[in-house]
């Protein structure tokens, strides 16, 4: 920088002779100037200027100079560009703010301008200086935004919190500060506290304000982003995806050729099937998949157990023995959201002594009717859990003595019977001939072929009897509930203890009390399952459709190479039957989406609202951080489940708007996902597709018209 005397002399000359802004800045920054310089040489000289330094012994002069510079810098675009690159404005302000007091509006104007300029090493000091001088919403917001932009998340978070606590008199200001806080949490992605992560905390804030007037599209976008961050990688794997580029090109060329052939009078005999297109469709989440994922979350499971120990400190050992997992809690919450009250229930209203629990068990053992009812309740709970794990929506009746049905499965009423007497099960149809019964595996041979009987391969009459009886008998063998719960699968005492308050205060009758106890027994007794599906006709089909969906279409049509061996007349029959199969596939897809999937969407929306109602109130009242990770994880999964179902419906809609080939792919995908739904007309609809496929098979290969012997060339592949 020029020495003071030379700078002062040139500044006086500039004020006297009024040169161009460019030449004036050249005079103030460059010691030796050649009158013969070209514009490029002048630009180079300006860019070589080392920067502005000011001597406090000449403060008055330098302040006048800076004021002149601030006014004239914007009068020349070249000077303005160089100034921004070299951060002259910030250098001038560093001296000016240190030596001169400015009004609040002037300081805020400077802060606002700084927020729009390229970042420099001077920004933090200047913004902190302005904020300390005029602490207000605008100055602190600019500083907080600067911290966020610089990824200084800790200071940004602190600044936004200060804004929310001290400087938000209006809704608009609160909205602005809250958006900044949420963006910081979602960007930092650390632990907000030992109990909850930044992402979970942000997600819960968004959940708490979802219906508040502060909500707008920006909060909606942040909510979607937070939901995405809360979910684990494995739970995102079944989402819709794009098809491969090469496959798409090849498929397009082939379809063009087929369409051209049809226009020339040709007929198509191959079944339209594209593994690439089918795999691009979203796959619905199942309860078992979610349960396994949550059980793998060690931090969340630890949080749940610690929380229950806080709520019931006198039974800490019992809770440790129970080992209630996040996965099992989520699974049962899909059947009965009131189970989520376990997160917040207190010890008041429980039996006063372990003797009360023992008396309950003794009474149940002595009364055959009570024991039968309890085992029936446990069976209902286990079936419900199995269905949720398979991907169904399950709702329990509001009363314990609901006539005719025990569960609503995908909106359809169903009865659960666990018995060794087939006649006892069949008696149900005398009163309720249209309501399906789900029964235990021991009756598979006797009732498996009944059109309205479904076998749950994971439900065993003997296991239900043994588990319930042992749970009750061992109540007399232990002097404390902790000892009882150390025995595997024996949680009935804790269940009785936890549900006693509602019974003793008259909120539920003895029947409902028994059902509430049975919930906990079933939840602890049922394992991960065998992988077998309730009602083989829904999922594991021993049919053409089942073979195709289970092992791939190649397994169904594999085994024969070359031509069909059919003559021209037979080939015409094959083409006609191929068209029938395609027609049935498309019809099934349309029916499935309109009558089944869209109904599930409404069920899941209602379930999501149930979750929100249980979580929003505690969050709005400042619930402890230890409870909040459960809210965030469960809500994120519930959102993902609903979105996956909606995406499936949209995917089917889009395919059904395309040509015949893509409409048929919608049929295959609908069949693939049908095992996760129950509908009274599902068997008949699937049977129509199976019958069409069987006729097609018989025409293509009469000698090998079994379910697994079909020529692979009869499938269009891409």
* pLDDT on residue 493: 38
Q: Is the dihedral of CA 376, 381, 384, 389 positive or negative?
A: negative
Classify residue 689: in a domain, yes or no. yes
Pair (293, 336) in one structural domain: yes
Classify residue 584: in a domain, yes or no. yes
Q: How far is CA 528 from the centre of its chain?
A: 22
* pLDDT on residue 32: 92
Q: Which residues contact 429 (CB under 8 A, 6 or more apart)?
A: 437, 452
Better pLDDT: 88 or 626: 88
Report d(CA 679, CA 596) in Å as an integer: 7
The count of domains in the chain is 3
Nearest 5°: the CA angle 151, 155, 159 is 120
Cα distances (angstroms) measured from residue 345 to each of 300, 306, 307, 398: 18, 14, 10, 21
pLDDT cut 70: percent of the chain above it: 72
* pLDDT on residue 716: 38
Percentage helix, strand, coil, to 5, in the chain? 70, 5, 25
* pLDDT on residue 109: 97
Name the pairing type of β-strands 559-560 and 453-456: unpaired
Pair (55, 193) in one structural domain: yes
Pair (276, 294) in one structural domain: no
Pair (202, 349) in one structural domain: no
Tell me what the mean pLDDT of segment 687-709 comes to.
74
* pLDDT on residue 35: 87
Q: How many residues does the chain have?
A: 718
pLDDT cut 90: percent of the chain above it: 51
pLDDT digits 0-9 by tens, 155-176:
999 999 999 999 999 999 999 9
* pLDDT on residue 137: 97
Question: 3-class SS at 119?
Answer: coil
Pair (575, 496) in one structural domain: no
Pair (585, 512) in one structural domain: no
Tell me: pLDDT of 93 over 70: yes
Tell me what the mean pLDDT of segment 304-319 comes to.
64
Report d(CA 594, CA 607) in Å as an integer: 20
Pair (442, 316) in one structural domain: yes
Classify residue 250: in a domain, yes or no. no
pLDDT digits 0-9 by tens, 578-593:
999 999 999 999 999 9
How does DSSP assign 288-319, residue by residue?
A: HHHHHHHHT-HHHHHHHHHHHHHH-GGGHHHH
Name the pairing type of β-strands 715-716 and 271-272: parallel
Pair (388, 502) in one structural domain: yes
Report d(CA 547, CA 707) in Å as an integer: 7
Contact 456, 438 (CB under 8 A): yes
Cβ neighbours of 551 (radius 10 Å): 12
Tell me: pLDDT of 81 over 70: yes
Pair (275, 302) in one structural domain: no
Better pLDDT: 80 or 491: 80
* pLDDT on residue 349: 41
Tell me: pLDDT of 216 over 80: yes
- The CATH code of the domain that includes 114 is 1.25.40
Q: What is the DSSP letter of 244?
A: P
**Least confident among 244-253, 345-354, 618-627, 678-687:** 345-354
Classify residue 148: in a domain, yes or no. yes
Report d(CA 391, CA 369) in Å as an integer: 34
Which residue has 């630890």 as its token pair? 302
pLDDT digits 0-9 by tens, 330-357:
887 887 776 676 554 433 344 444 344 4
* pLDDT on residue 318: 52
Tell me: pLDDT of 90 over 80: yes
Q: Is the dihedral of CA 39, 43, 46, 50 positive or negative?
A: negative
* pLDDT on residue 247: 57
Pair (97, 174) in one structural domain: yes
Contact 475, 493 (CB under 8 A): yes
Q: Which domain holds residue 401?
A: 289-523
Classify residue 428: in a domain, yes or no. yes
Better pLDDT: 533 or 111: 111
Report d(CA 621, CA 500) in Å as an integer: 27
Q: Which residues pair with 415 in a beta bridge?
A: 437
* pLDDT on residue 355: 44
Tell me: pLDDT of 39 over 70: yes
Pair (348, 476) in one structural domain: yes
Pair (176, 87) in one structural domain: yes
Classify residue 173: in a domain, yes or no. yes
Indicate the pLDDT class of residue 189, thresholds 50, 70 and 90: very high
Tokens of 425: 């099960």
pTM listed for this prediction:
0.77
**Least confident among 157-161, 265-269, 693-697:** 265-269
Contact 557, 711 (CB under 8 A): yes
Q: Which residues pair with 409 in a beta bridge?
A: 394, 412
* pLDDT on residue 398: 76
Classify residue 465: in a domain, yes or no. yes
* pLDDT on residue 488: 27
Classify residue 238: in a domain, yes or no. no
* pLDDT on residue 698: 84
Tell me: pLDDT of 218 over 60: yes
Work out the burial of residue 90: count CB atoms within 10 Å of its CB; fewer than 13 is exposed, 13-18 middle, 19 or more buried: buried
Tell me: pLDDT of 574 over 90: no
Q: How far is CA 129 from the centre of its chain?
A: 43
Tell me: pLDDT of 192 over 50: yes
* pLDDT on residue 335: 79
Measure the CA dihedral 99/100/104/107, to 10°: -60
Indicate the pLDDT class of residue 461, thresholds 50, 70 and 90: very high
* pLDDT on residue 332: 77
* pLDDT on residue 494: 39
Report d(CA 382, CA 526) in Å as an integer: 6
Q: Is the dihedral of CA 615, 618, 623, 626 positive or negative?
A: negative
Tell me what the mean pLDDT of segment 381-398 comes to.
87
pLDDT digits 0-9 by tens, 473-487:
554 444 433 333 332
Report d(CA 164, CA 158) in Å as an integer: 10
Better pLDDT: 520 or 537: 520
Indicate the pLDDT class of residue 527, thresholds 50, 70 and 90: very low
* pLDDT on residue 610: 87
**Least confident among 124-133, 295-304, 515-524:** 515-524
Q: Residue 191 phi/psi, 5° resolution?
A: -90, 120
Measure the CA dihedral 289/290/293/295, to 10°: -110
Contact 52, 88 (CB under 8 A): yes
* pLDDT on residue 497: 40
* pLDDT on residue 558: 45
* Average pLDDT in the chain: 80
* pLDDT on residue 317: 55
* pLDDT on residue 82: 93
């Amino acid at each position: 920088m020029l020495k003071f005397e030379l700078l002062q002399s040139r500044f006086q000359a500039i004020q006297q002779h009024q040169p161009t802004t460019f030449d004036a800045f050249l005079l103030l920054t460059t010691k030796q100037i050649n009158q013969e310089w070209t514009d490029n040489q002048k630009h180079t000289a300006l860019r070589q200027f080392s920067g502005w330094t000011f001597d406090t012994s000449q403060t008055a002069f330098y302040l006048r100079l800076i004021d002149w510079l601030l006014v004239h810098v914007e009068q020349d675009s070249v000077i303005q560009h160089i100034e921004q690159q070299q951060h002259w404005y910030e250098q001038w302000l560093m001296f000016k703010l240190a030596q001169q007091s400015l009004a609040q509006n002037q300081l805020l104007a400077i802060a606002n301008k700084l927020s729009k300029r390229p970042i420099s090493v001077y920004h933090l000091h200047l913004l902190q200086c302005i904020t300390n001088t005029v602490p207000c919403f605008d100055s602190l917001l600019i500083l907080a935004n600067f911290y966020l932009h610089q990824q200084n998340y800790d200071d940004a978070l602190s600044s936004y919190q200060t804004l929310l606590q001290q400087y938000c008199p209006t809704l608009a200001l609160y909205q602005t500060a809250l958006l900044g806080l949420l963006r910081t949490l979602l960007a930092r992605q650390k632990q907000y506290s030992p109990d909850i992560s930044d992402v979970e905390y942000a997600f819960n804030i968004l959940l708490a304000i979802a219906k508040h007037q502060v909500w707008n599209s920006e909060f909606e976008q942040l909510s979607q982003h937070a939901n995405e961050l809360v979910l684990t990688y494995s739970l995102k794997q079944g989402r819709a995806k794009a098809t491969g580029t090469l496959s798409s090109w090849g498929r397009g060329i082939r379809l063009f050729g087929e369409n051209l052939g049809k226009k020339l009078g040709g007929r198509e005999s191959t079944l339209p099937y594209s593994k690439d297109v089918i795999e691009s469709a979203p796959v619905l989440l199942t309860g078992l998949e979610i349960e396994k994922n949550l059980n793998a979350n060690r931090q969340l499971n630890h949080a749940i157990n610690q929380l229950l120990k806080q709520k019931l400190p006198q039974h800490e050992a019992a809770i440790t023995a129970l080992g209630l997992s996040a996965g099992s809690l989520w699974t049962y919450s899909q059947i009965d959201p009131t189970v989520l009250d376990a997160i917040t229930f207190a010890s008041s209203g429980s039996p006063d002594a372990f003797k009360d629990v023992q008396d309950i068990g003794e009474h149940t053992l002595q009364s055959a009717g009570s024991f039968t009812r309890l085992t029936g309740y446990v069976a209902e709970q286990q079936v419900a859990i199995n269905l949720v794990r398979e991907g169904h929506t399950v709702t329990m009746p509001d009363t314990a003595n609901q006539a005719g049905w025990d569960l609503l499965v995908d909106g359809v009423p169903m009865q659960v019977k666990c018995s060794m007497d087939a006649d006892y099960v069949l008696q149900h149809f005398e009163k309720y001939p249209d309501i399906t019964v789900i029964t235990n595996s021991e009756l598979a041979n006797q009732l498996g072929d009944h059109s309205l009987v479904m076998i749950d391969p994971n439900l065993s009459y003997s296991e239900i009897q043994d588990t319930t009886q042992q749970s009750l008998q061992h109540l007399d063998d232990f002097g404390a509930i902790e000892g009882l719960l150390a025995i595997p699968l024996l949680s009935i005492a804790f269940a009785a203890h936890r549900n006693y308050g509602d019974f003793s205060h008259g909120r539920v009758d003895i029947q409902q009390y028994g059902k509430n106890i049975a919930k906990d027994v079933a939840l602890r007794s049922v394992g991960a399952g065998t992988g077998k599906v309730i009602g083989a006709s829904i999922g594991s089909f021993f049919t053409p459709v089942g073979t195709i969906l289970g092992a791939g279409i190649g397994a169904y049509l594999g085994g024969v190479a070359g031509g069909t061996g059919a003559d021209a007349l037979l080939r015409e029959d094959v083409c006609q039957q191929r068209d029938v199969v395609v027609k049935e596939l498309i019809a099934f897809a349309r029916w499935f989406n309109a009558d089944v999937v869209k109904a599930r969407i409404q069920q899941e929306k209602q379930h999501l609202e149930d979750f929100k109602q249980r979580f929003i109130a505690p969050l709005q009242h400042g619930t402890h951080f230890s409870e909040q990770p459960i809210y965030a994880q469960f809500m994120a999964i519930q959102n993902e489940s609903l979105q996956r179902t909606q995406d499936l419906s949209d995917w089917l809609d889009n395919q059904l708007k395309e040509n015949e080939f893509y409409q048929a792919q919608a049929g295959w995908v609908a069949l693939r996902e049908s095992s996760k739904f129950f509908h009274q007309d599902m068997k008949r609809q699937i049977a129509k597709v199976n019958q069409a496929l069987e006729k097609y098979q018989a025409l293509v290969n009469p000698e090998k018209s079994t379910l697994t012997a079909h020529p692979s060339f009869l499938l269009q592949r891409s």
